[in-house]
Amino acid sequence: MTAPLKHSDPITVDVALGDRAYDIVIGRDVLPSLGGRVAALRPGARTAIVTDRNVAKHWLEKTEASLAEAGIATSRVIVEEGEGSKTYAGLEQVSEALIAAKIERNDLVIALGGGVVGDLAGFAAAILRRGVDFVQVPTSLLAQVDSSVGGKTGINSPKGKNLLGAFHQPVLVVADTAVLDTLSPRQFRAGYAEVAKYGVLGDEAFFAWLETNHADIFAGGAAREHAIATSCRAKAAIVARDERETGERALLNLGHTFGHALEAATGFSDRLFHGEGVSVGMVLAAELSAQLGMIAEQDAMRVRRHLAEVGLPTHLQDIAGFSQEGLADADALMALMAQDKKVKRGRLTFILLGAVGGAVIAPDVEPSLVRDFLQAKLERRA
């Protein structure tokens, strides 16, 4: 697998969901085309842009200009950045603002931002007037390769991540890779964890390509579009086969059972970005797989080595404030994992590895085994 040598025309990935199919448009400087695409998709519709304060500084006016050029009326809803907006209060703020803007069922909500904005705006659209269509304009790497695709929307509960939400597919995704240039190095690295995830869970050749080409992805070269498109194709194919996560879509949660518990333990704060939690969670999943004899220890080491090479956390001890109560407590982490959405009748389900590039769904993993595994990892010396 090789990347193109130069930036190409926009790449379009189809999410094949019958009469609810939609396109993911990926490319450098595709944001100015948003207005024309929305006008062609929904003639006469008005729009409301939901974004956060940081994204608004960089991209709100450009987004509004594109819509205005296409003759589309729009309003803006600005929330605070970060997981703190993905709450009951944040949902109320956005929902009431959309009602005040008189967004009707034939209009569109536009989610301009990262995963938090996409999840929040998408959930508000799903419940507004019992369902208003929305467009995803993801501005983080994590959102472009994962959260903007597939229709999962929602907010957090104090008891866990994404426990309230709805499946509500967007009608269009416009992923401009140029907007990623404004991300901090830490934000970009966190998003890269989700890119690596697609290789680890289902495409060993892609993972090997990432091991060789990750520097060009971080530098903004043509490998970036290739990695994003490959990730989106992988997710789109799984979503098309299992939209509601009744089977194989659960594989996309590789690293998330551990990761979501770690996010909850750190209070959904900047101590641990989502992608950083996924990185630690993927390593834990690989190491648990090795302990169970499902993969060789060298395979687990390969996953850990690559994530560490790009600067992602790979051990529990890498998380800020590791020694604080909750994070270094195996029983507390087990209690948080018990709230995972994949729990069935109280039994934990993990996504583990049968090979690098071969994730499997592992139901009924013995809790005492996981607890002892976590305890051993917590006792590891830095």
Q: Which is catalytic among the residues 42, 76, 86, 152?
A: 152
For 216-228, letters b (16+ CB in 10 Å) and e give ebbebbbbbbbbb
pLDDT for 341: 64
pLDDT for 380: 79
Whole-angstrom Cα distance, residue 76 to residue 282?
A: 37
Q: Which is catalytic among the residues 226, 256, 271, 341?
A: 256
Q: Which is catalytic among the residues 42, 197, 249, 377?
A: 249
User: Could you confirm whether 54 is annotated as catalytic?
Assistant: no
Q: Which is catalytic among the residues 83, 194, 263, 276?
A: 194
pLDDT 10s per residue in the chain (382 long)?
455 546 578 999 999 999 999 999 999 999 999 999 999 999 999 999 999 999 999 999 999 999 999 999 999 999 999 999 999 999 999 999 999 999 999 999 999 999 999 999 999 999 999 999 999 999 999 999 999 999 999 999 988 889 999 999 999 999 999 999 999 999 999 999 999 999 999 999 999 999 999 999 999 999 999 999 999 999 999 999 999 998 999 999 999 999 999 998 898 888 999 999 999 999 999 999 999 999 999 999 999 999 999 999 999 999 988 766 566 789 999 999 887 766 666 678 899 999 999 999 998 788 999 999 999 999 876 4
Which residues are within 8 A (CB) of 358 and not within 5 positions of it... i.e. 6 or more apart? 201, 202, 204
User: Could you confirm whether 241 is annotated as catalytic?
Assistant: no
pLDDT for 80: 97
Q: Which is catalytic among the residues 233, 260, 306, 341?
A: 260
Q: Which is catalytic among the residues 76, 214, 235, 341?
A: 235
Q: Which is catalytic among the residues 245, 263, 276, 287?
A: 245
pLDDT for 160: 84
Whole-angstrom Cα distance, residue 360 to residue 369?
A: 18
pLDDT for 7: 59
Q: How many residues does the chain have?
A: 382
User: Could you confirm whether 260 is annotated as catalytic?
Assistant: yes
pLDDT for 324: 65
Q: Which is catalytic among the residues 197, 271, 274, 302?
A: 274
Strands 47-52 and 22-27: unpaired
* 302-348 pLDDT, tens digit each: 999 999 999 999 999 999 887 665 667 899 999 998 877 666 666 78
* 126-157 pLDDT, tens digit each: 999 999 999 999 999 999 999 999 999 999 99
- 257 DSSP β-pair partners: none
* pTM confidence score: 0.92
User: Could you confirm whether 235 is annotated as catalytic?
Assistant: yes
Strands 22-27 and 74-79: unpaired
pLDDT for 109: 98
Whole-angstrom Cα distance, residue 270 to residue 303?
A: 24
Whole-angstrom Cα distance, residue 41 to residue 29?
A: 20
Q: Which is catalytic among the residues 161, 168, 253, 263?
A: 253
Amino acid identity of residue 157, one-letter, is: S
User: Could you confirm whether 274 is annotated as catalytic?
Assistant: yes
Q: 87: which 2 tokens?
A: 């709450």
The full set of domains in the chain, from first to last, is: 11-182 (3.40.50.1970), 185-378 (1.20.1090.10)
User: Could you confirm whether 130 is annotated as catalytic?
Assistant: yes
